[in-house]
């Protein structure tokens, strides 16, 4: 909970008092709870059934050609690839009650909103599988020899703004009133990004090819160490870069690799300092429900082949195929699936638990990967918020150095919020849902030797919903003092292992792909392909974890490759 003395001693206490809220106690009218993820299901796999009961033996046996374990983006992509090949005899097993993984959505008071990933940058030519998907979904088409995107799905302007020095400004890079020394460091970093782009290819998804020396060097150190080497110590620049890393990777510049920090800009639109002519920034796709707009369309054609509420317990290769045991959360029975092959579209930390006698490369990857916990809070408000001076409300709204108000619990600061009704272009703002994001990958409080992300997971699990509600409303009220009086509900989704964090690797490796192992399993034709697949016996592995960081392009490409392979 927010300490009452801390609350009342801050300027925010006065702001809330002006809005009729004397303390955090006055938030009791805001209802809500935890939603979206059934935390206990994942913990069943870790801890076993309540009371230490043994898993029941298989009550039913099903037969199919292919089992897909995991219904996130990678699993759905694998299912689509199988269908494109003309294969309909498969089953997809998903832990939650709906597919989509981190790209699912919900509704509050009839308003669609995301429960996780909420946008997709326009994919480049290094992601042809994603480009094909967008064409299939009608999001892009070729007109007079050029690709055009459906403007209804492109993020409308204004796209983003920053609450800085008591007012809103366009864009997320702090510029109003900053010193000339700050602007000079912005320009220096822009030059460094362009230099990196000139000597190496920065692609998304990351392809299994030889890296440039500069990329390997950057992958071996933290981003903050790189900034130190370059003399980039300006607090405004560092805040912005830290924000970008927490937003994309779940942890800040002191945790992620320098490769990932540069990759954020070099693989997309670069970094453009204020006052320097820059090309028009490419657009992005977004929807009120976020990327659930895509995953729902991937799941819809599957029908009965999509089986939800299943905890995958065991994946074993046999002489003639694979056995996949899954616990049915509705009937509390175990089901066994017999198949020729299995696509393991599970996070690595789960895959290593359930694959019987896992191969060495899977064990090694499980020791290397670290995960960022995330919190997503959807806040329903009855009417538009009063705005401070500056540009109009935007799709993405971020607060500079917002006071987390956690009373020293290490929860850090959030990443602002997106407005679920921004795409509606309504003439008069009305009720909406603000989706607040909070990355907990480098929460303070870790003991020496503790795993990155562990303190955040502990906090995420142990902290009460009302305490999270109070802290989030407290933080956002610094820009919107009237938020407490206009909010009616806060629903919070918790992801304990939301994404792999691209931490430095001493060997300068990008991702967790075991190159030597893959080389032995590929044909000569496949060895020359830029889309390698990771297989072992009758299993194919597909998840963004293998790339070492989590974005749609990585997950979808991995899943498509696993499903498209003729050996699957």
pLDDT tens digits, 349-370? 999 999 999 999 999 999 999 9
Asked whether this chain's domains 4-34+371-500 and 41-105+291-368+510-564 adopt the same fold, the reply is no
**Would the pLDDT of 10 be above 90?**
no
pLDDT at 401: 86
Cα 96 to its chain centre, rounded Å, is: 17
Backbone phi, psi, residue 422, to 5°:
-60, -40
What's the pLDDT score for residue 448? 45
**Helical residues (DSSP H) of 58-113, grouped into ranges:** 73-84
Distances (CA, A) of 104 to 164, 175, 288, 294, 406: 31, 35, 11, 9, 28
CA distance readout (Å), 311 to 72, 89, 231, 326, 516: 14, 21, 49, 5, 32
- Judge residue 264's burial from the number of C-beta atoms within 10 Å of its C-beta, 0-12 exposed, 13-18 middle, 19 or more buried: buried
CB 502 within 8 A of CB 245: no
Cis peptide before 158 (omega within 30 of 0): yes
Comparison of pLDDT for 406 and 230, the residue scoring more: 230
For residues 486 and 84, what is the distance between their CA atoms, to the nearest angstrom?
Answer: 48
Residues 6+ apart with CB under 8 A from 100: 71, 72, 73, 76, 116, 291, 292, 295, 296, 299
* pLDDT band, very low/low/confident/very high, at 531 (cuts 50, 70, 90): low
User: Quick one: 556 exposed, middle or buried, by C-beta within 10 A (0-12, 13-18, 19+)?
Assistant: buried
Domain ranges of the chain: 4-34+371-500, 41-105+291-368+510-564
Higher pLDDT, 276 or 525: 276
Rg of the Cα trace of the chain? 24
pLDDT range class, residue 23, cuts 50, 70, 90: low
The string of pLDDT tens digits covering residues 275-329 is 776 666 668 999 999 999 999 999 999 999 999 999 999 999 998 999 999 999 9
Q: Which CATH architecture has domain 41-105+291-368+510-564?
A: 3-Layer(bba) Sandwich (3.50)
- For range 410-427, the mean pLDDT: 82
pLDDT class of 529 with cuts at 50, 70, 90? very low
Q: Which residues contact 549 (CB under 8 A, 6 or more apart)?
A: 248, 249, 260, 499, 500, 501, 502, 511
Q: Widest CA span of the chain, in angstroms?
A: 72
Query: Is the domain defined by 4-34+371-500 classed in CATH 3.10.20?
Result: no
Q: Per-residue pLDDT for 494 more than 90?
A: yes
Quickly list DSSP for 204-216.
SSPPSSPPPHHHH
Tell me which residue has tokens 């298989």: 58
DSSP H or E segment with residue 336: strand 333-339
For the entire predicted model, the pTM comes to: 0.91
Spatial separation of the C-alpha atoms in residues 508 and 219, rounded to whole Å: 5
Instruction: Give strand pairing partners of 371.
Output: 500
DSSP for residue 523: -
Query: At CA 496, angle to CA 159 and CA 533, rounded to 5?
Result: 80
pLDDT of residue 4: 43
pLDDT of 5 strictly over 60: no
pLDDT band at 530 (very low <50, low <70, confident <90, very high): very low
Residue 412 vs residue 332, higher pLDDT: 332
* pLDDT higher than 60, residue 393: yes
Q: How far apart are CA 551 and CA 260, in angstroms?
A: 12
SS3 240: helix
Q: Which residue has the higher pLDDT, 411 or 191?
A: 191
Q: Flag whether pLDDT at 102 surpasses 50.
A: yes
């Amino acid at each position: 909970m927010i300490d009452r003395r801390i609350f009342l001693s801050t300027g925010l206490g006065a702001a809330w008092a002006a809005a009729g809220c004397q303390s955090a106690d006055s938030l009791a009218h805001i209802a809500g709870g935890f939603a979206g993820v059934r935390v206990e299901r994942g913990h069943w796999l870790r801890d076993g059934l309540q009371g230490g009961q043994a898993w029941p033996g298989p009550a039913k046996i099903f037969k199919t050609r292919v089992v897909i374990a995991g219904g996130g983006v990678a699993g759905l992509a694998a299912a689509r690839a199988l269908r494109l090949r003309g294969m309909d005899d498969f089953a997809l097993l998903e832990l939650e009650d709906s597919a989509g993984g981190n790209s699912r959505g919900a509704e509050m008071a009839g308003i669609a909103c995301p429960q996780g990933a909420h946008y997709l940058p326009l994919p480049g030519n290094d992601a042809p599988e994603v480009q094909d998907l967008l064409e299939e979904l009608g999001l892009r088409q070729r007109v007079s020899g050029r690709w055009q995107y459906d403007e209804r799905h492109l993020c409308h302007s204004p796209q983003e703004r920053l609450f800085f020095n008591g007012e809103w400004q366009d864009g997320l890079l702090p510029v109003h009133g900053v010193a000339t020394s700050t602007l000079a460091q912005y320009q220096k970093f822009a030059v460094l990004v362009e230099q990196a782009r000139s000597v190496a290819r920065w692609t998304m998804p990351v392809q299994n090819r030889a890296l440039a020396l500069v990329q390997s060097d950057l992958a071996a150190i933290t981003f903050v160490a790189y900034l130190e080497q370059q003399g980039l110590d300006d607090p405004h620049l560092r805040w912005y870069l830290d924000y970008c890393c927490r937003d994309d990777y779940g942890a800040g510049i002191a945790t992620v690799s320098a490769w990932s920090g540069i990759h954020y800009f070099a693989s997309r639109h670069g970094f453009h300092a204020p006052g320097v002519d820059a090309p028009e920034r490419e657009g992005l796709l977004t929807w009120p429900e976020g990327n659930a707009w895509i995953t729902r369309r991937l799941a819809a054609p599957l029908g009965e082949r999509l089986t939800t509420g299943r905890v995958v317990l065991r994946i074993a290769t046999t002489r003639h195929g694979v056995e996949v045991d899954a616990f049915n959360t509705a009937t509390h029975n175990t089901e066994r699936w017999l198949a020729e092959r299995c696509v393991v579209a599970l996070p690595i930390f789960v895959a290593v638990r359930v694959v019987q006698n896992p191969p060495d490369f899977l064990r090694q990857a499980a020791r290397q990967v670290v995960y960022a916990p995330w919190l997503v809070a959807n806040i329903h408000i009855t009417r538009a918020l009063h705005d401070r001076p500056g540009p109009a409300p935007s799709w993405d709204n971020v607060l500079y150095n917002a006071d987390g108000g956690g009373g020293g619990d290490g929860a850090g600061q959030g990443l602002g919020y997106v407005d679920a009704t921004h795409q509606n272009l309504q003439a008069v703002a009305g009720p909406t849902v603000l989706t607040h994001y909070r990355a907990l990958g480098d929460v303070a409080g870790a003991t020496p030797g503790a795993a990155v992300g562990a303190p955040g997971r502990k906090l995420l699990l142990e902290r009460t919903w009302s305490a999270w509600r109070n802290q989030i409303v407290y933080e956002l009220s610094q820009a919107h003092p009237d938020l407490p009086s206009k909010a009616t509900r806060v629903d919070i989704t918790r992801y304990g292992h939301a994404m792999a964090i691209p931490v430095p690797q001493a060997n300068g490796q990008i991702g967790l792909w075991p190159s030597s192992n893959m080389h032995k399993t590929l044909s000569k034709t496949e060895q020359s392909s830029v889309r390698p697949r990771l297989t072992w016996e009758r299993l194919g592995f597909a998840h963004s974890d293998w790339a070492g960081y989590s974005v749609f392009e990585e997950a979808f490409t991995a899943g498509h490759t696993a499903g498209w392979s003729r050996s699957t």
